[in-house]
């Protein structure tokens, strides 16, 4: 989530879905209950920019959300965000067990911050 001025990304607990349907329900619930204006999904691409299998699944998720959500759904390149998140946590001397819990959350913050920096609000 970002702040109200859409300048900084804020961390949220990671959604741990049991299925695609469960994930969609949880995202739609967040959209409705948190006054979300736009959803940015990380698109995992291969380093050469080609589509990965997981990337195709994310595209499928985005298509389903676009049909059901009341807000725009955008995809944003997430290459290297997990690695940067892990390096940041290592640099901050976060213990290995704690790092595993925080990598996805920090990677999501980095992804959204990258998006916000590329799209400054008017």
- Cα within 13 Å of Cα(37), Cβ side: 6
Question: Is the pLDDT reported for residue 122 higher than 80?
Answer: no
CA 69 – CA 106 distance, rounded (Å): 25
Domains of the chain as residue ranges with CATH: 20-118 (3.30.420.140)
Q: What is the pLDDT of residue 72?
A: 97
% of residues, the chain, pLDDT over 90: 45
Which residues lie across from 51 on neighbouring strands?
45
Reported as a pLDDT band with limits 50, 70 and 90, residue 30 is very high
Cβ(29)–Cβ(61) below 8 Å = no
Residue showing tokens 């080609």: 50
CA 16 – CA 30 distance, rounded (Å): 14
Q: Containing H/E element for 104?
A: helix 96-118
For the stretch 42-86, pLDDT in tens is 998 888 888 889 899 999 999 999 999 999 999 998 887 878 878
Mean pLDDT over 107-114 rounds to 89
Share the mean pLDDT of the chain: 88
- Higher model confidence: residue 60 or residue 5? 60
Question: Is the pLDDT reported for residue 22 higher than 80?
Answer: yes
Q: What is the pLDDT of residue 47?
A: 86
Which pTM does this prediction carry?
Answer: 0.84
């Amino acid at each position: 989530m970002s702040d109200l001025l859409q300048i900084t990304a804020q961390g949220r607990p990671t959604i741990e879905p049991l299925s695609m349907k469960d994930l969609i329900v949880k995202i739609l619930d967040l959209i409705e209950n948190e006054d979300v204006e736009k959803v940015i999904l990380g698109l995992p691409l291969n380093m050469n920019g080609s589509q990965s299998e997981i990337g195709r699944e994310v595209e499928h998720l985005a298509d389903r959300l676009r049909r059901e959500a009341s807000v725009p759904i955008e995809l944003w390149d997430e290459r290297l965000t997990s690695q940067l998140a892990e390096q940041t946590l290592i640099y901050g001397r976060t213990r290995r067990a704690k790092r595993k819990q925080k990598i996805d959350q920090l990677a999501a913050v980095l992804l959204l911050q990258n998006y916000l920096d590329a799209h400054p609000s008017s």
